[in-house]
Amino acid sequence: MNQIIFLIFGCLLIISALGFWVRRRNVVKSGEYTDATVVRTRNVREANMSSYSPVVRYTVNGCTYEVEGTVSHPKIKYRDGEVIKIIYNKKNFKKIVIVNDGPFWLILPGVFLFIGIGLIVLGFIIGRLL
């Protein structure tokens, strides 16, 4: 029974990691580039840790959008008023990727993938031992 729990959680983590990567890849692959202005930085607090996510404003087809970046950073990376490059989804203008966001968007899915694989391996090991 324990091995099934490890296998299920492992698979869920791997699916989450791959889903995040695929969604981001789709925006980058089929999106449109434009300039956006950082209007503020949002402090994201989780588990006694702070990280910072930029909120950007940009215009598409005469409509102005204000969207929070999908990746937060341990330090403030963008200053208010700074103009940055983004990629927006042509079908949903509120889905964006910040072009120079660095490797941070790989960290969480990478951790999920690593832990998911570890749980699956652990599930198989427990299954063989019992």
Q: Write down the residue that tokens 């120079």 correspond to.
A: 100
Q: Count Cβ atoms below 10 Å from residue 80 Cβ, excluding itself.
A: 12
Measured CA to CA, the distance from residue 72 to residue 50 in angstroms comes to 9
123: buried, middle or exposed (CB in 10 Å: 19+, 13-18, 0-12)? Answer: buried
The pLDDT value recorded for residue 105 is: 58
Number of domains in the chain: 1
Contact (Cβ atoms closer than 8 angstroms) between residue 101 and residue 54: no
Q: Write down the residue that tokens 């969604």 correspond to.
A: 23
51: buried, middle or exposed (CB in 10 Å: 19+, 13-18, 0-12)? Answer: middle
0.75 surpassed by pTM: no
73: buried, middle or exposed (CB in 10 Å: 19+, 13-18, 0-12)? Answer: middle
Q: How many residues does the chain have?
A: 130
pLDDT per 10-residue tile (average), the chain, 130 residues: 79 84 76 93 80 92 90 82 91 84 64 84 79
The pLDDT value recorded for residue 19 is: 82
User: Domain range holding 123?
Assistant: 2-129
Q: Write down the residue that tokens 């341990």 correspond to.
A: 74
Q: Find all residues with CB under 8 Å of 76, minimum gap 6, and list them.
A: 41, 52
